[in-house]
Structures are given as structure tokens and as C-alpha cells.
């Protein structure tokens, strides 16, 4: 998977490959991250990337000229890569969007700063606009890092244990069940007995019931879009 991230703060975004699952995936050649700075595509002595908005108002916008040049040079380098602009106006990010992107092979992630970017960049070169939630960050970089992380861990071989990504929260439309490791008792809290039983059918049934119960209590909205089979419906809380 090849990621190109267009950002005024490449060092911030590059830190996503410093550690953990994403760092290992990069070292093993499963993914590649290149950050490109629109400042390198400016032509004036001050290397200006921002300007005042037409019509007035507070703050500055990113200029379209250097952004268009940056995007087009990355499109040329990567072939058929989609351009995704990260902004609070975008489509709310879901696991299925990360899964679909992980199957594309490449992506160009465009990060805004200041009050945003000139709308004509979106008209001309953006294929999709994604939001990571209903709150406003000071730029798209953290959102781009969320996308890079969420996609990379879905790449075949990125996680140590093959079942890990399949058993994630949201993969089956439900929240995850609780998990426990040693010791068997801590303070006055015991690991649920069933998990020590060695009976894998019972364990699977308990985990499903927990996942369903948590989803019902914490995120009932998720159950609206999830097809439950008859044996799962029996496990729902009355
Ligand atoms: N840039 C600023 N806020 C954002 C958000 N919530 N999602 C994606 N990009 C952003």
C-alpha cells in the first residue's frame, strides 16, 4: 500500500511510521509513506502557501495553485490513486471505508491547515472528502494519520495474529467483547469462569453475548445497520 500525504507538517505525519504495527509494516515493505509539502511547489521568494479569503472573514486559506501542482505531481507518480481530502465536512469515517481503501493499493491524503483550502481544489482534484468525527482539529494531519493507521493494520500480514483484524470491533458491526489476561484474580475481580473452561463453543457464545449486550447498551445505533442471525438474536438482552 502506498500512501502519499500532502501536508505543511511532514514531520508530524511521518511519526506515524515510528512505532508499533504501522512502523513494522513499513519496515517489512507492506506499506510506504511519502509526505509531500505544498511549500515545495510555490514559486515566490517567501514560499507562500496561504492567502486571505475572498469576501472577508477571519483566518487564511491554503492557496489553490501550489496545492494543485502538488496533487497532480503525486497523481502522476502513483497512477490511479484516489485523492481524499480530510475535513470536518467530509463523510464520517467508518471501518468499511478503511477496508475498501486497504484494497486499493494507494491513496493520496490531502491535509488542510488554517481555515481550509480553496474550494476549487476540491472541485478539480478531490475524489472523496472524509471526516474523522464531529469536532474540529487544527488541521487534517491527525485525521490522515488515523486513516494510515486504520488501513495499514488491515493489510494482509500486518498483524501478527491472522484472526486479529477479523475479530475487531466493527468488522461484524458490533463492539468488541471484554478481554482478560493473567492474573486470574486482581484486587477482588476474577476472570469470568467460562474463559477458563477450555470449552470453545461456550467461550464463543459468551463473547458474542457480551459483544451484543455492550452494543445494545452503548451503541444501539450500530444494531440498526447489522443483520443478526437467529442464534445471535436469542443472545440479545430482553
Ligand atoms: N480536519 C479538521 N478537523 C477534521 C476532522 N474532524 N476530520 C477530518 N479532518 C479534519
* pLDDT tens per residue across all 238 residues of the chain: 999 999 999 999 999 999 999 999 999 999 999 999 999 999 999 999 999 999 999 999 999 999 999 999 999 999 999 999 999 999 999 999 999 999 999 999 999 998 999 999 999 999 999 999 999 999 999 999 999 999 999 999 999 876 678 778 788 999 999 999 999 999 999 999 999 999 999 999 999 999 999 999 999 999 998 899 999 999 999 8
ipTM passes above 0.85: yes
- Number of independent structural domains in the chain: 2
Q: Cα(148)–Cα(169) distance, rounded to whole angstroms?
A: 18
* φ, ψ (nearest 5 deg) of residue 205: -65, -40
Residue-range definition of the domain harbouring residue 209 = 185-233
Closest approach atom of ligand 1 to CA 136: 3
Q: CATH number, domain at 205?
A: 1.10.1270.20
Find the 159 Cα to ligand 1 centroid distance in Å.
Answer: 27
Q: Cα(62)–Cα(115) distance, rounded to whole angstroms?
A: 8
Domain check: are 137 and 32 in the same one? Answer: yes
The pTM of the full predicted model, rounded to 2 decimals, is 0.96
Find the 194 Cα to ligand 1 centroid distance in Å.
Answer: 42
Q: Cα(6)–Cα(111) distance, rounded to whole angstroms?
A: 6
Task: Decide which of 131, 152, 173 is a domain's last residue.
Answer: 152
Q: CATH number, domain at 67?
A: 3.40.1280.10
- Of the residues 168, 176, 214, 219, only one is catalytic, namely 168
Q: Is 26 a catalytic residue?
A: no
CB-defined site of ligand 1, < 6 Å: 86-88, 131-133, 135-137, 140, 143
Residue 147 near residue 130, CB atoms below 8 Å = yes
The answer as to whether 227 is a domain residue is: yes
Domain check: are 117 and 216 in the same one? Answer: no
Domain check: are 140 and 201 in the same one? Answer: no
Amino acid at each position: 500500500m502506498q500512501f502519499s500525504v500532502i501536508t505543511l507538517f511532514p514531520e508530524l505525519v511521518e511519526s506515524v511510521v515510528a512505532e508499533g504495527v504501522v512502523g513494522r509494516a513499513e519496515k517489512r515493505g507492506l506499506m510506504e509513506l511519502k509526505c509531500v509539502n505544498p511549500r515545495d511547489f510555490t514559486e515566490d521568494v517567501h514560499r507562500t502557501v496561504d492567502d486571505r479569503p475572498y469576501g472577508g472573514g477571519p483566518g487564511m486559506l491554503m492557496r489553490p495553485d501550489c496545492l494543485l501542482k502538488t496533487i497532480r505531481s503525486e497523481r502522476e507518480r502513483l497512477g490511479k490513486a484516489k485523492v481524499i481530502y480530510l475535513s470536518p465536512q467530509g463523510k464520517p469515517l467508518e471501518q468499511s471505508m478503511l477496508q475498501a481503501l486497504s484494497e486499493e493499493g494507494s491513496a493520496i491524503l490531502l491535509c488542510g491547515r488554517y481555515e481550509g483550502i480553496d474550494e476549487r481544489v476540491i472541485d478539480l482534484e478531490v475524489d472523496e472528502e472524509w471526516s474523522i468525527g464531529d469536532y474540529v482539529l487544527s488541521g487534517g494531519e491527525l485525521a490522515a494519520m488515523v486513516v494510515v493507521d486504520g488501513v495499514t493494520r488491515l493489510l494482509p500480514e500486518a498483524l501478527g495474529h491472522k484472526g486479529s483484524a477479523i475479530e475487531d470491533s466493527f468488522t461484524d458491526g458490533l463492539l468488541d467483547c471484554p478481554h482478560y489476561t493473567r492474573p486470574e484474580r486482581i484486587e477482588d475481580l476474577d476472570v469470568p469462569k467460562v474463559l477458563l473452561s477450555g470449552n470453545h463453543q461456550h467461550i464463543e457464545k459468551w463473547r458474542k453475548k457480551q459483544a451484543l449486550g455492550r452494543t445494545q447498551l452503548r451503541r444501539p445505533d450500530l444494531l440498526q445497520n447489522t443483520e443478526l442471525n437467529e442464534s445471535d438474536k436469542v443472545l440479545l438482552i430482553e
